[in-house]
Amino acid sequence: MSHGTKRESWGPYPLILAGAVIGVLVIFFVNPRWGGFTLGAVIMIAAALRFAGFGGQLSIRSKKVDVVTLAGFGFVLVLTSLLLYNNELKALILSFFA
């Protein structure tokens, strides 16, 4: 007997969740630099999918807020992972704040 409940759409959420789990496992077991890069890339893929209209469980707020937030966090993670072992570039960035 159906009560007319709306079926919940998962969309690309399982794909993004699997990618995030792989990224965290790479951080712990392989290399933090490549794991952070993987995790940031997966978050930016989530932003692209949300921008393309595939919401599902990825949609939390408005489309614009979700895309900007996911893309920003993903970009910062990728940038941080690329700077992890680069001491010259790290010193240059820190000199801007000194």
Mean pLDDT confidence for 29-57 = 87
pLDDT at 74: 94
Q: Residue 93: which pLDDT band, with cuts at 50, 70 and 90?
A: confident
Domain boundaries, given as residue ranges, for the chain:
13-96
* Higher pLDDT, residue 71 or 55: 71
Cα angle vertex 8, ends 6, 14, to 5°?
Answer: 170
CB count in 10 Å sphere of residue 39: 23
Q: Which residue has the higher pLDDT, 93 or 8?
A: 93
List, for residues 45-70, the tens digit of each pLDDT value.
Answer: 989 988 887 766 666 778 888 889 99
Contacts of 67 (CB under 8 A, 6+ apart): 47, 50, 51
d(CA 3, CA 52): 32
Query: Which pLDDT score is estimated for 1?
Result: 46
